[in-house]
Amino acid sequence: MPHQLDTAWQPSEVQRERDEWRRRRTLRSAAIAAVSTLLLVGALAVAVVSSPGWERVRETYFDWDKAVSSFPAVVDGLWLNIRVMLVCWVLILLLSLTIAIVRTLRGPVAFPLRLLGTAYVDVFRGLPLLLVIFLLGFGGPALSLRGVPTSPLFWGGAALVLSYSAYVAEVFRAGIESVHPSQRLAGRSLGLSYGQTLRHVVMPQAWRRVIPPLMNDLVSLQKDSGLIAVLGVYDAIRRAQIETSLDFNYTPYVVAGFLFCCLTIPMARLTDRYARKRGYHGAGGHL
């Protein structure tokens, strides 16, 4: 018996054959996927390069010298986009969580608050983001409110916060209402108040469930932060527009798009990976 306990476990011959078959199948699938991808990319590249207007497009959109010369200005503008995105995201989380909690309040006394929260969500989900930016960016400074900045950067950020909070509030509300009512009853039976139950019982469970959609909203915010350029804010897109206007070469726009992709694509892949890890297989798809 001691000799048997000291012997290391070894897989059976059948198990080793299964493992080898799975390994060969994985390698075969990877090879097929690589070959098919190369063929597709190659076919698209040949179709683009062989098109009659390719030379003109290459000179206008893919000029290396223009990309190098405009890169510092576009990067400087992108840093503004990043700061706007970070500040707006914090404010969006705070405002949207407040709206979501208000909309989940029970009782007739809270009806005016629920009505106000519902109206807010309906209005700002119904308005296009670009329209909100125009309305606040041009109308907000005209109000000349005391103590409120008149800069387009402030009002463009306010438009992002107001629009995104309506969507994120619904994400939070769905997470809160997905927690089974028995969890609330259990918290109240232990002597916790409504606020304590919400904080210590409901919100920890809801937060874990809404992280994947919140990360998707963050990816969208990273891109949409460039819309404030319509107000004249010197972000990445505005800087690219200025560089383009010098010689009507559109390569700076390609540079700006590439830099935005460098921000959003890693975040999107991280979101998909987290969603699959948590079991949300339909949230991000598979590569």
Q: Which residue has the higher pLDDT, 11 or 234?
A: 234
Selection from 6, 22, 197, 160 nearest residue 84 by Cα: 160
The torsion angles phi and psi of 150, rounded to 5 degrees, stand at -105, 5
Which of 246, 218, 237, 223 lies closest to 76, judged by CA?
A: 237
Residue 165 has pLDDT above 90, yes or no: yes
Residue 57 has pLDDT above 50, yes or no: yes
The full set of domain ranges for the chain reads 2-49, 70-284
Tell me the two tokens of residue 22: 């799975």
Which fold would CATH assign to domain 70-284?
MetI-like fold (1.10.3720)
- DSSP assignment of 93-142, as one string? HHHHHHHHHHHT--SGGGHHHHHHHHHHHHHHHHS-HHHHHHHHHHHHHH
Closest CA relative to residue 259, chosen from 58, 19, 91, 80:
80
Q: Is residue 284 very low, low, confident or very high in pLDDT (cuts 50, 70, 90)?
A: very low
> What tens digit of pLDDT does each residue of 105-119 get?
887 888 888 899 899
Side chain identity at residue 145, one-letter code = L
In degrees to the nearest 10, what's the CA dihedral of 120, 121, 125, 126?
-60
